[in-house]
Amino acid sequence: MKIGAVFPTCEIGNDPLAIRDFAQTAEQLGYSHLVTYDHVLGAEHANREPALTGPYVETDPFHEPFVLYAYLAALTKTLELATGVIILPQRQAALVAKQAAELQVLSEGRFRLGVGTGWNWVEYDALGVPYAKRGARMEEQVELMRALWQGGTPSFEGEFHRFERAGILPVPEAGVPVWFGGFSPAAIKRCARIGDGFLFGAYTSPMQKLCEMLWAEVAAAGRSREDVGVEAIIHYSEGPDQWRSAAESWKALGATYFSMRAMDTGVHLTGEKPAGFTTPQQHIDALADFIEVVRDV
């Protein structure tokens, strides 16, 4: 099982050297990959209709994933760079295909595109994309992007997108893996049909039940488990005994990736205990603690 770390995008700060040190330390310690989250805009939650219930507000900073990973691709050699997740429906599909292809080329095949539908309708409005039908829009986007990654000048006609005899260059030799993330049966079924993997944002029993559902849906879709990766995430505050126990449980469940998150932003909604880190160096130091416990799982 591959061991990764969630990039603490809301808490790492703006020092490029601290960002470099986090990624390079992870690579030197033997981590296989990083996962980073995505929000273009933060929104005040008060007095919204419908209510905003997600974990992030207007004061939570997010480094832009494609730009961040272009920077880190030049500073690392083996570390896989995964998004967990890009809110795909609020972005232009052809542009994301172009950005993902470029990052895959420049990183020499180390990019994994995790996508999801998100929850922040204010962000959708600001980016000029309807919040409704975002799941259907995302499925069409994945089909469109894969057509572009195959090269040439394909044509595409869908409900939400259209282009005629157009393509992108450069294209990555092996395309770009597309993983899905989320917490709903709809997201699970979507991944089972068309995904390369699923990112579970926690390690808890409800997430394990969703993983069992994923395997049932994969079989129903006529696919093999080997075709679909699985990643689970545990918070640093759970402690060494739980890190290892959870890693072993998820490996038995068929997970291929297991990652640690020390970022506390949002724990007030998830019920997790905060780690309480206040400096980038604390996040960097936590990397050694975690991998020593789970390295051989």
0.85 exceeded by pTM: yes
The series of mean pLDDT values per 10 residues for the chain, 297 residues long, is 98 98 98 98 95 94 98 98 98 98 98 97 97 97 98 97 97 96 96 98 96 98 97 98 98 98 90 95 98 97
pLDDT in the model for residue 173: 93
Cis peptide bond prior to 85, omega within 30° of 0: yes
Going by DSSP bridges, is the β-strand pair 111-116/156-157 parallel, antiparallel, or unpaired?
Answer: unpaired
- Please state, in angstroms and rounded to a whole number, the distance separating the CA atoms of residues 181 and 104: 20
Residue 269: its pLDDT value, please? 77
- 33-36 and 257-261 strand pairing: unpaired
CATH of the domain at 204: 3.20.20.30
According to the model, what pLDDT value does residue 288 have? Answer: 98
pLDDT score at 271: 82
Q: How many domains does the chain have?
A: 1
Q: How many helices (H) and strands (E) does the chain have?
A: 10, 11
**Residue 233: beta bridge partners?**
259
Q: Of the candidates 1, 78, 41, which has an alpha carbon nearest to the alpha carbon of residue 234?
A: 1
Range of the domain at 244: 2-294
**Model pLDDT, residue 225:** 96
**Token pair 């789970």: residue:** 294
Q: What is the H or E stretch that residue 176 is in?
A: none
Instruction: Give the 3-state DSSP-derived string for 94-152, with helices as H, strands as E and coil as C.
Output: HHHHHHHHHHHHHCCCCEEEEEECCCCHHHHHHCCCCCCCHHHHHHHHHHHHHHHHCCC
Q: What is the CA radius of gyration of the chain?
A: 19
